[in-house]
Amino acid sequence: MKRLFGTDGMRGEAGQFPLDAQTVRRIGSSLARRLAESAEGGLAPRIVTGRDTRESGAWIEQAFTAGARGAGAECLSAGIITTPGVAYLARIVPADAGVVISASHNPYQDNGIKIFSPSGRKLDDATERLIEADIKAATSQDEHTAREAKHVEEGEDDYKESAALRQRYLDHLKEEAESSGLSLAGLSIVLDCANGAASGLAPALFESLGARVIPINAQPDGRNINRDCGSLHIEGLQRTVLAEHADLGVAFDGDADRALFVDGAGEFVDGDATLWVMAQYLASRAELKDGIVVATVMSNIGLELALGARGWQLKRTDVGDKYVLEELLRTGASVGGEQSGHIIFPRQSLAGDGMMTALFLLRAMHDTGIRLDQLVRGFTRYPQVLVNVRVREKLPFEEVAEVARTIEETKANLGERGRLLLRYSGTEPLARVMIEGEQQAQIERYANTIADAIREAIGETSSKP
C-alpha cells in the first residue's frame, strides 16, 4: 500500500480511500489504540478535533470520532477552527493528540487529516507507519468497530463545548498581543478569510485589538473555500486594500496556518519578504538567535542575499513546514518558514499560525512606527523560472552525463548571484528545473537547456533507448 501520510498529514478526495467513512473510522480507532499503548496509568486517551469549512468536514470528523470512541478514547470537538487552533488546544486542554480535518489550500472536493502531538508537532513518523499498517491489516476488530460505531448527533452541549474551546484559542492570541503592548487602534485591515476556518475567528480577534476590520471571503458555504480567494488568489485582496485605503491586507488559506500580506500601496508581500521583516525586527530586539533564519529550498535567493548583507545566515531545508520545524529545533533559531506564508515562531508555537504571523508583523509595524512597504526594503525578489519535464525514470541527475555537464555549466554561469535547484516530484513522473538569477531571459534560456538535456536522456519522448 502506498504511504498515506505525507509531510502535511493525509490528504485526498473526500469520500475516496483513504478518506472514505470506513477508513476514517479505522484511523480514529488506530490512533486511539496507539495512544492508549503509551498512556500512563491506563487512562483513556483524550483527543481534540477540529475542522475547516468543507462540506465533507462534519461527516469525516464524525467518522473519526466514532472510531476513536469505539476504541475507548475521549473526544472533544472545537468545531470549525484553524489548524494551529487545534494544535494549541491539544497542549492546553491537555489532550494526547489534536486532529484537524482539513486539506489546507486545496479545493473543497479534497479533505485531509492532520494529527498533532500535545507539543504542537506533527505526529511522529513511527506512529504514522503503525496507523498505516493497521489500515492495511483491516483486522476483524477494525471491522467490528466500524460496524458498531454509532452516529453522534451534535447537541446544545456540544455546541457550547466547541464555542468554549474556540474562545480559549482566541483569548490566547489576544493575550499574547496585548502582553507585548500591541494596539491596532487607528489601523484599517482587510482580512481575506478564504471562506475557510478563519472566517469566524480572525475578524473577531483583530476587532478586539482595536482595528477597523474589512472582512472579505468570510461567508463559507461548504464549497467556496479557497475558490478564487485567500492566499492563492491575492488580486481581490489587493483591490480591496486600495479601495478601502487600508493599512494592511492579510490573506489566509483554508485552515489559516499560513498568511500572506498586501501593504498599503497594494503590493504583495510573500513569505520570504515576511521572513526578512521579522529577521530585522527580531535582530533589533537582540532576539534573532545566532543570526539564523530557516527556510526551504524554494525560498528566493533574494532572501539569502539580503540576510547575507547583514551578516545573517539562511539555512535551507526540504520543502515542508515539518522540515523547517526540525531545523528550527535543531539550531535553536528564532524564526523560519516557507515562501507560501507558513511562518513558525518556535518560542510561541511549534505550529505555523497565520493569525499569529499577522500579529507579529503588525507588532513590528507598531513598535517601529514604519509602514510595511518600508519594512520590506532591502529585500529584492530575483526573477525565477520553473520548468517541468515528464520522465520515464528518475535517475540521479549526476549519473546522466549530458545533464550533469549542463548543470555544472549553468552553475558556473550563474555564480553567486543565481541559484539552480533540480529535483524530482515526489508524486508525479516529473523532473523540476528551477533557476533564479538577475535576468529573466537568461535564466529562461538556462532552464530550457537543462530541460532539453533531461528530455533527451530520460524524458518520456526521449530518442535514446
Residues labelled as active-site residues: 104
Query: b/e for 308-343, b at 16 or more Cβ within 10 A?
Result: eeeebebbbbebbbbbbbbbbeebebbbbbbbbbbb
CA distance 137 to 196: 35
CA distance 139 to 98: 25
Contacts 24+ apart (CB under 8 A), 368-372: 368/281, 368/284, 371/247, 371/263, 371/264, 372/247, 372/248, 372/261, 372/263, 372/264, 372/269, 372/277
DSSP string of 39-76, one letter each residue: -STTPPPEEEEEE-S-TTHHHHHHHHHHHHHHTT-EEE
Tallying the residues shown for the chain, one arrives at 465
Amino acid at 297: V
Coil/strand/helix, residue 306: helix
Which residue from 107, 103, 97, 93 is spatially nearest to 39, judged by alpha carbons? Answer: 97
User: Residue 429: is the preceding peptide bond cis (ω within 30°)?
Assistant: no
Q: Which residue has the cell 540521479?
A: 396
